[in-house]
Amino acid sequence: MSPFSSEAAWLCLAVTAALGGLVLCKLNKSPGPVGKKVACLGGLWGGACLLSLPLFWALILFSLSCVLLYIHLSGQELLPVDQKAVLITGGDTGIGHALSKYLDQLGFTVFAGVLNENGSGAEELRRTCSKRFSVLQLDVTNSQQIKEAYSKVVQKVQNRGLWAVVNNAGILGLPTDGELIPMAHYKRCMDVNFFGAVEVTKAFLPLLRKSKGRLVNISSIGGVVPLLKMAAYGSSKAALAMFSAVMRQELSKWEVKVSTIHPGGFKTNIVGTSELQDKLEKDILDHLTPDVQEDYGQEYILAQKKFFNLINYQSSDLSPVLQDIRHAISAKSPFTFYTPGPGAYLWFCLVSFSPTGIFDYFNKKIHSFHNGMLRICTVPHWKN
């Protein structure tokens, strides 16, 4: 006798329809990017079940999958804002600036740490944001400013605690070959991108423990993928990612959740002004030994600024990053790892699962747009 009798058929169909309806209701309450990904995966899985299994077992398996999806999506529902307080570093420009406005519009009590409290970015935040909003002078490499910022936050939040800290402040430097980057630039990247985030975290953790809140560190896809020209920047972001992974485990006993954001290609002001780029280029030339200058060739060294042209073609729509950060701050069960941006997750998969030779080949191909050429490639009979 076939296990798929008419009674069983109607029962399985009814259960599957009910579970599917519950999952769809949960999807409507989930943030956009998360809901779309889950819906796509669910649809592909359901189609695979129906095509590869007998109808009875396909419905059974699909129903169990709906149960698991429902449990998963329950953790993705966003908690009410209730004027939760959030500290954001690097609010002068870029992601930090846009995130400060975005969270303020959602009803959060936002503390935006800025490098220059009298700068145009800080003034714009004061002008456009609500009365809940506060601008703090906060150079993350300045221990005294971190302490003063902590005192101001404590004074305002009092017994509520601080719900979230978003370590966003960061610098890029001049992207070039690792041998050409002066040691001062390596140290500066580590000071801002890593040590600054660590010190801010250590200072504000007592407030996060009180609220059982969130620590969100903005790393980069360059912190998990070895991108050419990014030795200083990528190393500092990789250190931040490892710090986040350790803190996630250590802070779980206080129910503080830690997430790391690894944005892909977004156009921000992290590259700095053209005057700053000229200064960085001069620093590189001033610190090179004659042997290194001869080996690389001045034409190649001077062409390094052309790498910034690539950034001009990156996406200026920061909404994927902002939505992922909001999810990390507000979801009942936030993810530990986010990769917003076109191709960011594909890069992560490529470096994680493909043979090294294949990754290196594609990485070099993508960066072959650079017009500068090593002298060793252009001068015949070069010395061994």
Is 70 a catalytic site residue? no
61 token code pair: 């398996």
369 token code pair: 């747009």
Helix residue ranges per DSSP H, the chain:
6-29, 32-52, 55-74, 94-106, 120-128, 143-157, 183-189, 196-211, 231-250, 274-287, 290-296, 298-302, 308-311, 319-330, 344-353, 356-366, 375-378
DSSP symbol at 78: B
**Alpha-carbon span 327 to 339, nearest angstrom:** 12
What kind and span of H or E run contains 261? Answer: strand 257-261
Candidates 102, 150, 233, 338; catalytic one: 233
Report the 10 Å Cβ neighbour count for 181: 23
**Alpha-carbon span 284 to 276, nearest angstrom:** 12
CA distances (Å), origin 154, targets 83, 116, 150? 15, 21, 6
Active site residues: 233
